Amino acid sequence: MCAIWLKKARPPSREAEQDLREGVSLMLSILEAEREDAALRYARQFDRWEGDIVVPAEALAEAGARVSDALKRDIVFAHDNIRRFAEAQLATIGETEVEIVPGLIAGQRQIPVGTAGAYVPGGRYAHVASAVMTITTAKVAGVSHVTACSPPSTPQGIPPEILYAMHVCGADTVLNLGGVQAIAAMAFGLFDTPPADILVGPGNAYVAEAKRALYGRCGIDMVAGPTDALVVADRGADPEIVAADLVGQAEHGFNSPVWLVTDHRPLADTVLRLVPAMIDALPEPNRASAEAAWRDHGEVVLCTDREDMARVSDGYAPEHLQVQAADLDWWLRRLSVYGSLFLGEETTVAMGDKASGPNHVLPTSGAARYTGGLSVHKFLKTVTWQRATREGMRPVAEATARISRLEGMEGHARSAEIRLRKFFDEA
């Protein structure tokens, strides 16, 4: 492999990570001990919210009256696409049983978790799409109760657009809460909600750390870091489209990495020239976020050929991977390390983020090496069962006794042998 970094990211700083963990841990301890009182106090402190925490059902149903018809159509369109894709995923998951040996039958069931907590980011951006992605997928999987939380960022609480999306997607309870207090409320079952079996949805560093700290007590979709995106582009790619896609992802936040991998130096040079100008044309605060992300985390890599490009891409293990290159089928077969793949210039991460169907809650920070994104699978428990006739269990019990005794586990051996003795009168 012979790759040249034409632009390199600055080394990361880890100084604030320990302070973050300690601060979130303290908040979670206080929230668990003081419950609603602490959540209300943090809501006043961090969200400047004095109103009701639980959104009344009638307010949720009436949110659409404060949303334009055009936006309602867009939300319903996105919901339908995401629902259909989730239903298609669900159709690929089956229950099964097999006769392992004569008389011994084992099987597999798919059981949805009972409750889920869906966090929908707010604040600088109103993340309507995150509500659709998380709540819809949980409901398609068969989750019976979904609690959704989002910061109350308007005088009325959660923005009406997010409330409408939550209502369309089937949220059972909605809480005017953001940050660590929202995650704790869902995990601990505050405000008369059932404790969540799993917590899902993107959020800032505090939300991500709260989910990480609670993992084990409940499930989580993943430990998420800043969103990232990589574009693979060859000489046939349109540099303006490539640059626009990089800038679009950089505006997520100051610490969102964006990377270009190409085998064509003129394309790289053109993109390096276009990106700063496109960033400068953004409104604030998007401009400042994108500028910092590109300056500190943007990289451009020049490779020798497409195999070299694929190896470099696999090394990044990007959350989002766009391919704007010839022979898309080759890339689909060759690439294997990514959260979600976007093939051709006719699709882009922005479409996947908002409305196209596959989920946008995806592995970051290289986690695509070992996991995929949010899907109906995350809300399902694959559990096993077995049943045997007495004749069917006989050889299994005999083998179990011998293996257990070899391992020094006498109690295991005897629990198998007691069946041989009682059922078959074996000594």
> Domain of 247: which CATH number?
3.40.50.1980
Q: Is residue 104 part of a domain?
A: no
Task: Give the whole-angstrom CA distance, residue 366 versus residue 257.
Answer: 11
Among 168, 194, 220, residue at a domain's last position: 220
Q: Is residue 103 part of a domain?
A: no
Do 241 and 186 sit in the same domain of this protein?
Answer: no
- pLDDT value for 192: 97
- Catalytic residue numbers read 319-320
CA dihedral defined by 284, 288, 289, 292, rounded to 10 degrees?
170
Task: Give the whole-angstrom CA distance, residue 319 versus residue 227.
Answer: 7
Pairing outcome for strands 320-324 and 340-343: parallel
Do 86 and 154 sit in the same domain of this protein?
Answer: yes
- pLDDT value for 1: 55
Structural domains of the chain, count: 3
Do 246 and 319 sit in the same domain of this protein?
Answer: yes
Q: Is residue 273 part of a domain?
A: yes
Do 194 and 264 sit in the same domain of this protein?
Answer: no
Q: What are the Cα distances from residue 266, in Å, to 1, 40, 255, 301, 351?
A: 20, 56, 27, 12, 27
Among 204, 220, 236, residue at a domain's last position: 220
Residue 91: partners with Cβ closer than 8 Å, 6 or more residues away: none
Q: Is residue 53 part of a domain?
A: yes
Q: Is residue 48 part of a domain?
A: yes
Cβ burial 326-335 (10 Å sphere, 16+ → b, else e): eeeeebeebb
Do 171 and 55 sit in the same domain of this protein?
Answer: yes
3-state SS class at 255: coil
Among 220, 238, 267, residue at a domain's last position: 220
- pLDDT value for 427: 57
Q: Is residue 98 part of a domain?
A: no
Do 194 and 57 sit in the same domain of this protein?
Answer: yes
- pLDDT value for 14: 66
| Residue 259 contacts residue 300 (beta carbons within 8 Å) | yes
Task: Give the whole-angstrom CA distance, residue 227 versus residue 108.
Answer: 35
Q: Is residue 377 part of a domain?
A: no
Residue 351, domain extent: 226-372
Do 301 and 409 sit in the same domain of this protein?
Answer: no
Do 192 and 276 sit in the same domain of this protein?
Answer: no
Do 263 and 318 sit in the same domain of this protein?
Answer: yes
Do 39 and 177 sit in the same domain of this protein?
Answer: yes
How many Cα atoms occupy the beta-carbon half-sphere of 158 within 13 Å?
A: 32
Can you give the pTM of this predicted structure? Answer: 0.93
Do 212 and 272 sit in the same domain of this protein?
Answer: no
Percentages helix, strand, coil for the chain, rounded to the nearest 5?
50, 20, 35
| Residue 341 contacts residue 323 (beta carbons within 8 Å) | yes
Which stretches does DSSP call E strand in 24-137? 96-101, 104-112, 115-119
Q: Is residue 383 part of a domain?
A: no
3-state helix/strand/coil string of 145-202: EEEEEECCCECCECCHHHHHHHHHHCCCEEEECCHHHHHHHHHHCCCCCCCCCEEECC
Note down pLDDT in tens along the chain; length 427 residues.
578 998 899 886 666 678 899 999 999 999 999 999 999 999 999 999 999 999 999 999 899 999 999 999 999 999 999 999 999 999 999 999 999 999 999 999 999 999 999 999 987 767 899 999 999 999 999 999 999 999 999 999 999 999 999 999 999 999 999 999 999 999 999 999 999 999 999 999 999 999 999 999 999 999 888 999 999 999 999 999 999 999 999 999 899 999 999 999 999 999 999 999 999 999 999 999 999 999 999 999 999 999 999 999 999 999 999 999 999 999 999 999 999 999 999 999 999 999 999 999 999 999 999 999 999 999 999 999 999 999 999 999 999 999 999 999 999 999 999 999 999 987 5
Do 340 and 283 sit in the same domain of this protein?
Answer: yes
